[in-house]
Amino acid sequence: MQDDIPELSRVVEVANLPPQGETMTVTADRHECGLVAKRLDLVAVHDLTGRLVLEPWRKGGWRVTGIVHADIEQLCVITAQEFRSTCSFDINRHFLHEKDRYDPVAEVVIDPMADDEPDVIAEGCIDVGELVVEGLSLSLDPYPRMPGAEFEAVQIEAAQDEDGAKPSPFAVLAKLQRPE
C-alpha cells in the first residue's frame, strides 16, 4: 500500500536511541517537498527543515521537542495570486508505549487546560518526519493573504423614496402587509 507511506518519513527506533537522548535534523528533499505540498494543498514547499531533540520521558517514554522552519508558496485568498512566505513553529510531543499509556483502574480526570495525551510508540518506532508535516499543517493560515492584499468591500446603495430620502424599515414592512 503506497498510500500508507508518509510524504516525509524519518522513522526512529526508540530501542536504538542512547539513554541520554539524541538531536537530529529532518530535512525534506525536493521530491518530499513536492509530496508535502500536494498533501497540504500548497503551491510549493521550497524548504522544510526541523531540528529535533528526542529525550527520555517518564518510564519508557520519549519526548520530541524542537523547531521547524518552512519556506512555502501559497495562493492568496483575496487576489488568487501565488506568494511565498516562511513559517516557523515549535514541536513538543510525548510518546509512551501502549501498555504504559492508561491505567484501567485509575480515575479519569478531564482537564481542558492539560497537555494532550501522549502518542503511542507504534511497533517501537516514532516517525519524526510525520511530526514535522503535522506541525506544518497545523501552523498554516487557513486563509493566506499576500502581503499588502486588501479586501475591498462592495457598497450597496439603499433604496430611496421619490423625495430622495431613505425609507424607514417600518414603512417598507407596512407596504408588504397592505397592497396599494
CA dist 14 and 121 (Å) reads: 8
Cell numbers found for residue 157: 446603495
CA dist 9 and 164 (Å) reads: 68
Counting residues of the chain whose pLDDT is more than 90, the rounded percentage is: 62
Q: Would you report the helix, strand and coil content of the chain in percent, each value rounded to 5?
A: 25, 35, 45
Find, among 72, 54, 75, 71, the residue nearest to 63 by Cα: 54
CA dist 134 and 149 (Å) reads: 28
pLDDT at 25: 98
Alpha helices by DSSP H, listed for the chain, are: 30-39, 98-101, 128-139, 169-177
As a whole number, mean pLDDT of residues 30-54 equals: 97
As a whole number, mean pLDDT of residues 31-36 equals: 97
pTM, whole model, 2 decimals?
0.76
Cell numbers found for residue 69: 522552519
Find, among 2, 25, 6, 14, the residue nearest to 137 by Cα: 6
CA dist 131 and 125 (Å) reads: 13
Question: Has residue 12 got a pLDDT over 50?
Answer: yes
Sheet containing strand 61-75, edge to edge, reads 22-27, 44-57, 61-75, 82-96, 119-120
Reported as a single tens digit per residue, the pLDDT across 83-134 is: 999 999 999 999 998 876 666 666 666 667 767 788 999 999 999 999 999 9
pLDDT at 99: 74
